[in-house]
Amino acid sequence: MSEETRTRTPISLDDLLTANKDQFDQLFSRQMDDASLLSPSARPASQAGSQSDNQVPGNLKLATAAVVALNRRFDFDWSHDIIDVKSDNDKAIVRIKLTVEGQSKADQGSASLDGNWALAFEQAATEAALRCADQFTGRAPAPSVEEDQSPKSPAARAGKGAVAVAGPLDVVTLDLIENALRNARHEMDALLFRSAMSPVIREQHDEFPMITDADGRMIVGQFGSYISEMLKQQDFDLKPGDVILQSDPYKCGGAISHINDWMVLIPVFVGAKSNPELVGFASMFGHMMDVGGPVPGSMPTAATSIFGEGMRIPPIKIYDAGVLNEAALDILMNNTRTPEMNYSDLMAIVAGCRAGERRVIEICDRFGTGTYKQACEALLERTNRAMRKLIVQNLPEEPQYFEDFVDDDGCGNGPFKMKLTVWREGDHAYFDWTGTSAQAPGPINFYLHDGMFKMFIGVYMIMVFDPQILFNDGFYDLIHVTLPKGSLVNPEFPAALGCRTHALSRQFDVMGGALSRHAPEMATAAGYGSSPHFLFSGTDSHKRPFQLMEILYGGIPGRPVGDGMDGHSWWPLFENIPTEYLENFYPMVIERYGSVADTGGAGKHRGGNGIEKVYRLLEPGDVSIHDDRHESQPWGILGGQPGACSAKWIIRGNAEPEPLPSKIDNVRVEEGDRIVFRTAGGGGWGDPLERDPQRVRNDVARKLTTLDKAREAYGVVIGGRRHELDLRATTDLREALKHGRKALELFDFGERKTGVS
């Protein structure tokens, strides 16, 4: 072939896939087995190997979508036999026997022979298998073959009918679609970060995207499904170009947990404009800087109902078929102290969702809508299988409980108990919050619905035990949750919710403690267990208003695999606001921002240290503070020691530091005043006397641990300016410390406040 010919005839990836389909199927058949997408007794034939001319196929198999559906219904405990395959009066007819737990049912299906005979017989086989399943269960096994048309289905509300099943799904196509969806989800993030104005979204990334299927199940994303709960409140007639907005937790069953979170939902349609087909949703929500109410930032620590926290937005169409609802937008912008930021952030969220919508349409155009739907089902099914294994491996069969405490509610009440009991039955997991304190008078209530808590469970188990698993909603049917009505985790309307993140983060400590009783060697200690917020607002010398909300971080717990991280977010993908950004856009100087030595609990793997941030304020204004763990220490595990509590001070001019409570609004500050904000550390993991002395020496050299702590907690002797390690003295000291101490317990809670609200 000449150079000229090669230049004129480029070969695309699609060309290669088409030309070498048989080879791809052979190479990846083993990967299909490993992916556990199909029952070993019911593996489909490759598309290239099926019959495409007008004859009865001799190697007929079930389509992948049908196999996935049967797996989900019968938990992989099924097999089938093809009894008869024939053509009659332009119809493909297939009779199948389905066997489940030793019992068999037989039925037949048919399809029109109007083109591809192989596809027609495959569809007939699928219909026959589903008819057999109906005889066992009384209903079709899954909507992956024929969409659910129940009144609650978003697909049904959009007027969508049944669709034909696509051909077999090979692992190469599945991998391409999965990674395309992953990239689309990250593109949504990138577009938002570059377009938003507020530092809480632009810099800290307090936003959460997802892409779902037509039933609202998250396929890729960060925060789990809420679409079904949201659309229950209003039966929208969904059309291309629609954009739904809402922010009221009580109007979506707790899908978002406070009114600062504005959630956008865009239905994704493909196909002809005359008959568009709903294939899913693109959605994001982000934290708005201010949504009204009595306090800048709209999270008053003294609120006793949601009516005192700001503006609640019920589900509304902010765009109707592409037309902006300007009247609604005017109302929203008229009820915030930061209209420019809110407008920019809202439109950036809409643009991010549009990016997700566009990518899903492109995937459907490339691979076909039927193949895209099959891939979504397969990705959900794979996560379901992976979670089953995690449940069996890591959850106890005997119920185990654990309890921890939120210190106070900002209104003088507390502490508040959070109690969780965990067990499994087979490969299903049960989480029961019975015993948790009643809802708080103040705003620390965390209004959960079971879907969101299932998402938190998934985040925890996947991140702790197997981070490579794709996080989606495929495992929700395996999780069963009890949330007592009127409790801290399921408050009744109109309970205040603005400071709910302390209970939100504390639930991860409680969950970890409950799971650790079954396998403590695989568990973590407690983290800083809070969501520290610093808010500063006022008017500068040029008469320009300013308002800042910053989320700070603390110590991550010691873990079986290593030390906890210092000053890190407990939520994935959050970041800090750079000091340069703060000092450029706000009247302040950051005098110190660093780790606080010894605040992480000692352990074989030490807990991460908390951080201390010192703000010197250059203009008068008002400061608000939200935090917790100022009285209850983050506990250590397996001999690890607890982390240090949080603390706050204000230094007025040259006066002595004055302590501040962990939750307080409207602290008046003047030019030159300083706020010292110290967050809690993380608990330690394992016996401190088993920590490698060289690692202790390095921690001292890096100013993460003091010389006194090294000697007293770790039994390590260090001397000299160069921090020289004395191994002989260390061995002697450790032996003495071991003989003089009490037996180590599973948990070390440190000092705990008594008297529960």
Task: Dump pLDDT digits (tens) for 53-78.
Answer: 456 776 787 876 677 778 767 767 78
Q: What tokens does 196 get?
A: 């938003």
* 161 located within any domain: no
Instruction: Please state, in angstroms and rounded to a whole number, the distance separating the CA atoms of residues 77 and 133.
Output: 12
Reference 553, options 539, 574, 537; nearest CA is 574
pLDDT score at 753 = 60
Domain range holding 197? 171-385
32 — pLDDT class (breaks 50, 70, 90): very low
pLDDT score for 53: 46
Mean per-residue pLDDT, 461-478: 79
- Give the closest residue to 747 by CA, choosing from 647, 611, 646, 643: 643
Would you call 340 helix, strand, or coil by DSSP?
helix
According to the per-residue pLDDT averaged within each range, which of 108-122, 245-259, 352-366 is highest?
352-366
Q: Mean pLDDT, the chain, as a whole number?
A: 85
Of 351, 385, 419, the residue at which a domain comes to its end is 385
Report, as an integer, the average pLDDT of 297-319. 95
State which of 342, 366, 385 marks the end of a domain.
385
Least trusted range by pLDDT, from 70-74, 205-209, 235-239: 70-74
Q: What is the pLDDT of residues 611-652, one digit of tens each?
A: 999 999 999 999 999 999 999 999 999 999 999 999 999 999
Name the band, by pLDDT with cuts 50, 70 and 90, for residue 178.
Answer: very high
Task: Examine residue 199 and say whether the peptide bond preceding it is cis (omega within 30 degrees of 0).
Answer: no
What is the reported pLDDT for 55? Answer: 67
Mean local confidence (pLDDT), 169-186 = 91
Are 373 and 513 in the same domain? Answer: no
Judged against a pLDDT cut of 60, whether residue 15 lies above it is answered with no
The answer as to whether 691 is a domain residue is no
- Residue ending a domain, choose from 656, 686, 716: 686
User: What is the arithmetic mean of pLDDT over 356-363?
Assistant: 97
Rounded percentage of the chain residues whose pLDDT exceeds 90: 61
Higher pLDDT among residues 392 and 23, named by residue: 392
* pLDDT of res. 118: 77
Residue 727 lies in a domain: no
Whether 13 maps to a domain, the answer reads no
Number of domains comprising the chain:
3
Summarised one tens digit per residue, pLDDT across range 665-711 is 999 999 999 999 999 999 999 999 999 999 999 999 999 999 999 99
Any idea which residue has 């401190």 for tokens? 688
Q: Are strands 428-432 and 479-482 parallel, antiparallel or unpaired?
A: parallel
Q: Is residue 702 in a domain?
A: no
- Report the alpha-carbon distance of residue 281 to residue 355 in Å, rounded: 12
Give CA angle at 751 (743, 626), nearest 5°: 140
**Residue 746 pLDDT level (bands cut at 50, 70, 90):** very high
* pLDDT bucket at 150, cuts 50 / 70 / 90: very low
Ranges 284-298, 445-459, 565-579, 681-695: which has the least confidence: 445-459
Output the pLDDT for position 233. 62
More confident residue, 111 or 580: 580
Percent of the chain at pLDDT exceeding 70: 85
Amino acid letter at 558?
G
Residue 40 has pLDDT above 80, yes or no: no
Say if residue 580 is in the same domain as residue 474: yes
Mean pLDDT lowest among 195-199, 356-360, 570-574: 570-574
Cβ atoms 547, 289 nearer than 8 A: yes
308 falls in which pLDDT band (50, 70, 90)?
A: very high
Q: What pLDDT is attached to residue 161?
A: 37
Radius of gyration of the chain, Cα coordinates, nearest whole angstrom: 29
Same domain, residue pair 427 and 357: no
Q: Which residues of 673-686 are buried (b: 16+ CB within 10 A; e: fewer)?
A: bbbbbbbbbbbbbb
- pTM confidence score: 0.76
Pick from 51-55, 282-286, 305-309, 353-357: least confident: 51-55
Reported as a single tens digit per residue, the pLDDT across 551-597 is 999 999 999 999 999 999 987 778 999 999 999 999 999 999 999 99
Residues 366 and 399 in one domain: no
CATH number of the CATH domain containing 74 = 3.30.160
Same domain, 231 and 339: yes
Residue 126 lies in a domain: yes
Give alpha helix (H) positions in 110-198: 117-137, 154-157, 171-195
Whether residue 357 sits in one domain with residue 251: yes
Could you report the per-residue pLDDT of 487-541, keeping only the tens digit for each? Answer: 999 999 999 999 999 998 898 899 889 988 888 888 899 999 999 999 999 999 8
Residue 122 lies in a domain: yes
| Shared-domain flag, residues 397 and 362 | no
Highest mean pLDDT among 150-154, 233-237, 674-678: 674-678
Residue 257 lies in a domain: yes
Question: What is the average pLDDT across 187-192?
Answer: 96
Q: What is the tens place of the pLDDT at every residue in 123-135?
A: 888 889 888 888 8
**What span, in angstroms and rounded, lies between the C-alpha atoms of 512 and 600?**
18
Q: Can you tell me the distance from the alpha carbon of 429 to that of 422, in angstroms, rounded to the nearest whole number? A: 7
pLDDT on residue 20: 47
State the virtual CA torsion across 503, 505, 507, 513 in degrees, nearest 10: -130
Given a cut of 50, whether residue 274 has pLDDT beyond it is yes
Q: What is the pLDDT of residues 238-267, one digit of tens each?
A: 999 999 999 999 888 777 889 999 999 999
Pair (360, 395) in one structural domain: no
Let me know whether 272 and 368 are in one domain. Answer: yes
pLDDT at position 523 is 86
Q: Are 281 and 421 within one domain? A: no
Find the range with the poorest average confidence among 77-91, 219-233, 585-599, 688-702.
Answer: 219-233
The predicted structure's pLDDT at residue 595: 97
Residues 345, 400, single domain; the answer is: no
- Extract the tokens encoding 302: 């003294």
Looking at the structure, tell me whether residues 77 and 189 fall in a common domain: no
